[in-house]
Amino acid sequence: MRSRAIYGCAGTALSATERDFFRDVKPWGFILFARNISDPTQVKALIAQLRDSVSDAQAPVLIDQEGGRVARLKPPHWRARPAAAVFGALHRTNPEGAREATYLNARLIAHDLSELGINVDCLPVLDVPVPGAHDIIGDRAFAADPSTIIALAKAQIEGLMDGGVLPVMKHIPGHGRAGADSHLALPRVGATPEELSASDFVTFRSLDQCPIAMTAHVVYESIDPQRPATTSPKVIRDVIRGELGFGGLLMSDDLSMKALDGPLSVRAKAALFAGCDLVLHCNGDMDEMRDVASEVKDLEGMSLKRSEAALSQLRIPSPFDPVAAEVHLADLLGPSSAELGA
């Protein structure tokens, strides 16, 4: 039985301490960051070590590979990808071309990931940015209108899944209004339930069939003024599972972010009690991971069923010519695509 946690690791290879810890606590999956990546051969070896530690050759391995400023795989070994806003800009003049370009770009990302053995990408970003909000979302969002985000995110989800990679929509139920970066502080959003429902929540409600979602460390004062979504039973029950109708696997954003406070064990317990199926801990700090593990139990009940349902959607990548796709994508994006890394 696997536990209800996803962990990072400290470097480019597992230490004996990390290997033993993962063997003992059997996390649901792992997540990679830039500190874990040097070249393709090394990444494949690290992923093999991670999976060997839990005796599962298909254990989920996650990454944040969005394109733009959020990309863990970088040149020279991997091609840079445009930020989501590039596709949103194209959508204004060529909606069909933008959808095709978004699909191709996601399919190419999935090709890179699948070649390494990575099978989950924390994408798409469904947050709806508003003027005056913190730019932590910014160009990571396709656009400022929900309809464009929905159209392009749907293409992005299809591209990832056709490439054998599960998508994770984030940050449910919406980070776009946040006035702070939740890595550094706890954002509070004062919008009314009606405003949130008419804008912020629309994208998640429309794409509620996405297999996995990641919570927002954001307080929605009109719904639960005390707790961010990640640790709010009310937000998860009434909004995420209720109004938005999301029935998939729900994971927290990183527990070590400064939006949350208290010991890591308390954060983990609160997120799981609130209704998260899995908790995420990213920084590879062994003391913190042990603290998280002290409160994380085995995956069971509805959380286990949701995990099984999500993982059942993994498929072998469909036939694909990455060279032809690169050429076609560059053509769709136009002359500026070279600067964007497309």
| pTM above threshold 0.75 | yes
Q: How many of the other CB atoms lie within 10 Å of CB of 75?
A: 9
- The SS3 of residue 155 is helix
166 in Cβ contact with 212 (< 8 Å)? yes
**Which one of 20, 183, 321, 331 is the catalytic residue?**
183
| Per-residue pLDDT at 340 | 45
**Which one of 64, 121, 224, 253 is the catalytic residue?**
253
Band of pLDDT at residue 339, cut at 50, 70 and 90? very low
Parent domain of 266: 3-317
| Per-residue pLDDT at 293 | 98
Band of pLDDT at residue 267, cut at 50, 70 and 90? very high
CATH at residue 42: 3.20.20.300
**What's the pLDDT tens digit per position in 131-183?**
888 888 999 999 999 999 999 999 999 999 999 999 999 999 999 998 888 88
Task: Let me know if residue 342 belongs to a domain.
Answer: no
Our count of domains for the chain comes to: 1
Task: Let me know if residue 214 belongs to a domain.
Answer: yes
Task: Let me know if residue 53 belongs to a domain.
Answer: yes
Task: Let me know if residue 325 belongs to a domain.
Answer: no
C-alpha–C-alpha distance, residues 18 and 146, integer Å: 42
Residue 339, CA distances (Å) to 68, 150, 170, 179, 329 in order = 11, 26, 27, 30, 13
| Per-residue pLDDT at 341 | 41
DSSP string across 191-259: --HHHHHHTTTHHHHHTTT-SEEEE---EETTT-SSS-GGG-HHIIIIIIIIIS---SEEEEEETTSTT
Task: Let me know if residue 339 belongs to a domain.
Answer: no
217 is catalytic: no
Task: Let me know if residue 35 belongs to a domain.
Answer: yes
Band of pLDDT at residue 336, cut at 50, 70 and 90? low
253 is catalytic: yes
Band of pLDDT at residue 211, cut at 50, 70 and 90? very high
Task: Let me know if residue 338 belongs to a domain.
Answer: no
C-alpha–C-alpha distance, residues 246 and 311, integer Å: 16
Task: Let me know if residue 333 belongs to a domain.
Answer: no
